[in-house]
Structure 1
Amino acid sequence: MKNKAVIAILALIILALVANLIGGWFTLSKKDHIAEESEKNIDTIYLNTYVNPKDSTTHGKFEQKEGEVVKNYITKNYMTYVSDTLAPALNIAKEKIDELTRAKFTLEGQLKASKIQREKDRVYYENKYLQIVSNVQDSTVDYKYNAIVDVVKYQDRKWLLGKENTYIDISSPDKNMKINGVEHFKKRIDVKPKRFGLGIQAGYYYVPAANQFYPGFGVGLSYNLIRL
């Protein structure tokens, strides 16, 4: 009975190894990833916006997706800007872009006049981030805005044993500056497994003299025969 249990355990281990090996063989290649991306509409990112109850700032959070070709992940209008303006300004080819993010914000609020200079026909408006001077004589406005944007990247799981996903949260400490859209691309980088590995291993080993299998536990050295 004991030997049958050991054989069953060994069979399960072998099946797991075979499944893992087959899974490695059938991993999509870069060419397959590009073909798959081209068939999907993935240029629109779901942005979860919420107001932080602690400081009333507006946050925008989205799950990061990795891909192969930048044009498959951003809108056509933004791609035109990247190709015609952004990449040339950086003196690089668009294919060299590893990560790209554009956040869209709306700035709205109300300011009371902080100072009035009647002799110069000027009215001043000011808060921590924004300074405005209204010139009545020539009907112009001089303004200055000190924009601050916080970008936080972190990893989290939707449930305890779930896959670990990467999320990006974008916000501004200015309560009047509210995010209302985002475009993002991050190039997929496949890390090849190492040839050699060192780790804790557990299993059974066979003792010919006793004709028995015994449980074993310890540190082991592994070698990966197939390195994709």
Structure 2
Amino acid sequence: MVGRGLRLHPDKTDLQLIDCVGITGKLNICTAPDLFGIGKLPKGMTQADIQGKRITEIEDMIEEVANRQPDWKINVQLVELFEQNGKYDTHNVNYIIMPDGSMLCSIGDKRVIKVRAEDITGNSYAYMVHDNTIVWTIQPAPMQEVLDGVYNRLVCDYQRAKNLWDLELVKRWGSLPATLSQLSYLKKLIRRSHRNDIRVDDNISKYEASVLIGQLA
């Protein structure tokens, strides 16, 4: 295929070369992860996993693995891409993007805010779940209005949990090792949900543990 790209033509001045399977090594060539703005594959995913896959399949695989085994930088970049592509402002809320496009924000005490992926009309809605019960909802509206509504709720009602929902504060403690209580609770959730695909070791960070707890609780 590179040979075809190198064929001369009076109207052709450039060749855009994309390495979708990662065989160019250290050469400075755009790869599949670059197309999604993440620079590298998430933990637990190798070049062999994406070889021969379509770009759309690779995108789904990256999102699934990135959310199954949370990676700080990967998730932050996914949220940034969401903001850039939709021209949205998430107000620096510590969202986790799920494979179906929805976003979660865990604020402790089994409380999780869920923002649903926008539908074909550009609308979304949000709600908080506390111990498997819906506490409040934000009715369907354009995505930015829903994001604004969630942020206003957080600022007005959940200041005590700001260290969990404010991304700048999360970055300060998120890289520290997970606590024993986090690890114990997380392993309990994994057993209860029968998620054998999730592997937890004692070296994960507080942020990674909090992400998994938010997804499983």
User: What TM-score do the two structures reach when normalised by structure 1?
Assistant: 0.23
Q: Which has the higher helix share?
A: 2
Would you tell me which structure has more strand in proportion to its own residues?
Answer: 1
Which TM-score applies when normalising by structure 2? 0.23
